[in-house]
Amino acid sequence: YITDDNPRFENAKLIRLQIAKSCKKAEIISSRKKAIKKALKLLKKNQILLIAGKGHENYQIVKNKYLKFSDYSVVKKFI
């Protein structure tokens, strides 16, 4: 899935579309939480899910705001 990281003041939709040009089979889901949830739901036994981009960060930067967000917390909630 292609989703948002820290768009700050950039156009998040445009960033996703630019990435999608090189990832033809990827689905775009703007909400990072929804993208992780869907990926976990579709994960089969013995498959590995790589969630890249945020690592240890516990926030997402949108415009000039630091929004509380943690990939780790989302995964814990949905597994």
pLDDT in tens, 10-48: 999 999 999 999 999 999 999 999 999 999 999 999 999
Which of 25, 28, 37 lies closest to 2, judged by CA? Answer: 28
The reported pTM is 0.91
CA 33 → CA 2, 12, 21, 53, distances in Å? 12, 15, 22, 13
